[in-house]
Structure 1
Amino acid sequence: MIENMLVWNVRGFGTSKRRTRSSVRKFKVLVFAILEHFQSVDKLQRWACTLDMPCVFSNADMDGKIWLCWKQGIDMEAVGHNNQCISVLFTDQSGSILTSIVYAKCSYLERRALWDHLCGVSAVGIPWVVIGDFNVIRSNEERVGGNSRLRMAMDEFNCCIHSCGLIEWRLEGKQLSWCNGRQGLARSWAKLDRILVNNFGGAVGRLLNRRTSDHSPIVLQLSSINNRYGSSPFRFQNMWTLHLGFLTLVENTWKSSRIQGNGLEILVGKHKKLKLVLRSWNKEVFGHVDNHILKLEGKVELLEEYLQQNFSYEVDADLTMARNDLELWAHREEIRLAQQAKKGWLEEGDQNSKFFHAVIIQRRNQACVKQMRLPDGSTLDSPEMVHEGATVYFEQFMTNDVEVEEPMLEDIIQPVLSLQDIEGLTSLPMEQEAYGGTKSYDVEVDQWRNRFTAPGEEPYKTLPGDVFVLADAKPEDVSDLQRIGR
């Protein structure tokens, strides 16, 4: 995969040659895109050769202002282009990446052709990065100063991003890439340059300082390293609850587990046993959900082709069942992706899956500890080194006797109990203290007639919750007694 890429709206390449040369060398750029260069094709070709990037491509044939150059050893396949965008597929020894370089028009009406182009290029199967000057912001929070932007233009841009299954890659450092260069209160900033991605591993994007142009250069550093390390943790899948046998499996596993120990140890042991059973059951019943969906889609297609030639009630019934199964598995996959992405607010549709895939990959990359700097200044540069460093640290921490100075809290927390009170609370109670200085009685209650029932039918017996009052006086008759709380 292409490692380093530089995209810059130079606003006239003549004053930015020195800055371009130093940036290409500093960041070891393999692909360089120039926007709004105001130079002839011959001059750009000669300049590209001085950067050791003899391979070039542009949209000048469509009155565009994008010039793309890259180093030898990288294969390029043109996917499509217009006067606002160039989409190409770069391939090297480490893989392929679909790249769309954008230089959008200022008019939102003209930008609609750009949105249509991106929606036609969109793909989920391979990594895709869309980078450049979009000449539009996503919300008014992405500007400082100036007038409010047209709401329709922002809505159309956001709709294009969601339709393509793209997410915005957050830039390190500053976020506002454009400044109008005016003085005082007339100065304004906006985020016109950005990076949109759909599906690839770790990446770092940053804006360089503005000097000779009103736009900041964008540097995108990609990584083809697989950041997943160690065993994957167990996660409960919400789609399991849609299976008819799920609750029965959980109940049987829970009841059949025989764990020795106290209550908490039994609970932990049953959970561990259930986790192992659910892992195995998930592989047997669900497996790879996307594979099930592909098989069902192929089955539905074959049955439809057969019905188009020879109608049969049996085949029609099979087609109905296959469609129902396909809908069920598609719903399960949607639940799984939404749970992984922790997004549940989108409307149903095919573009949902594109968005979920992109969010999942971004969360996975951000959750990975790729690098760790130690107090002595050394750096751990891989997940394996981070793992080993953490293991060594905690082994030393748990085995070495470290004296910790306890804080003095006497001046902050005033004592409430005296030492005598504390000793009294921790000692065993005396018999007199247990009964509070009173006597205990063994009470025996005889049977008697319940006045709420027919005479002679049922003798009254004590029930849980009955309250009995011991008194010095003896009641004369039953009416002197009242049932309390019944």
Structure 2
Amino acid sequence: MGNKPSVRRLRSLILSTKVDVVGIAEPIIPFQKAGRLMKKIGMSGVVSNGEAHGHKLWVFWRQDAQVRVMDSHEQFVTLECRIGSEKAVLVSFVHALCSFYKRWLLWNALLDQGIDASTPWAISGDFNAILSPGKKVGGRQMIYRASPFKFQQMWITHPGFKECVRLCWENQVYGLPLQILYLKLKALHIRLKAWNKSVFGNIHQNARNAEDMVVRAEIEAEQAPSDDSRRALKNARTNLHDVLLQEEIFWKQKSRVRWLKKGERNTIFFHTAINVQRCIGRVEKIRDANGEWIQGTENIALEVARFFADAFSSQGVTQDADLLDFIPRVVTDEDNAALLHIPSLDEVKEAVFALSQDSAPGPDGFSGYFFTSCWEIIGGDVWRAIEDFFLRGLASKGIHISKSGSHPQKGEPRGNL
């Protein structure tokens, strides 16, 4: 908006469309010049999303429009607009940031405004998102990756979860025991992703909807008390309790906080813990072999790749088999026999149930909580797969088995499959 051609094009667009309210994202000129621009485009009022947010969003309106600012945010400004005697409508002008996480915060902030569902509400602006890579101009090449599967502990709370697992697990699969387990887990994770989408959907939106249902049921029970209204209120509160429990389990699993006891809802605490973890896990800079600091995502990635390539490259090592004779024998025949002992079903079950419920999932996305919760369905296949591994000594592609999974150590036993 700092040059005459841009102003002329905007004024022409306003005159041809006869709009009453106009929003501009990133005008690239100081807000002190907003009054002058307002007069040039034929408007009589202007407001921004605030000095604290850099005045990155400007909204102009005509003289016959009544405008009131309802909410101001870094990425949007929401206005109540009324033209003449018409009903008021809400309009949110958006200028989303490029970060996926920041856009997620944007949508949460929009939904948290507490807007009445009966009030007309329009959202418009620059969302910094495209429908396909072909729409992108300049910048880095876009790479789309499917989100990895991860077992969600909240699924256990649904009465139809185990039946879904059972129906998928009973499908006939042919192959060696390890291959059968791998293929069944692979098929199950596809089934669970579809099941989660149809049954749970967006749990955060579910919580907001459940809260609205309770409010409506309370109002109806007060205005028209009856057995049906009281029953509806009870059902709405039960549904809200279940949805909030699912949301709490989701945040707890994501935060990996193990020491907090069950009871009071702690979703805010879990959400904060996740943000702290993200900050701790972020690598801003690293030091190379010459002691120089390297910054930037691409430069850091290249340095990490170079470091490990050098660390694991052969340096012309000479092998001498005679040196093996000087290594003392520590493992006795009894120890070796115990290590090669094929574990029984009870031993495998004991090792699986020793896994922490909040442990990180394996490469297949299934955590220890899944194996313990569905043991009566999958236990037989798990044991046969481990037995097959001990007998043949080979693991199929996609399967990772650790001896610690069958022989727990002292203290807190750990294992993975």
Which structure is higher in helix share? Answer: 2
Q: Structure 1-normalised TM-score?
A: 0.35
Which structure is higher in strand share? Answer: 1
Q: Which has the larger radius of gyration?
A: 1
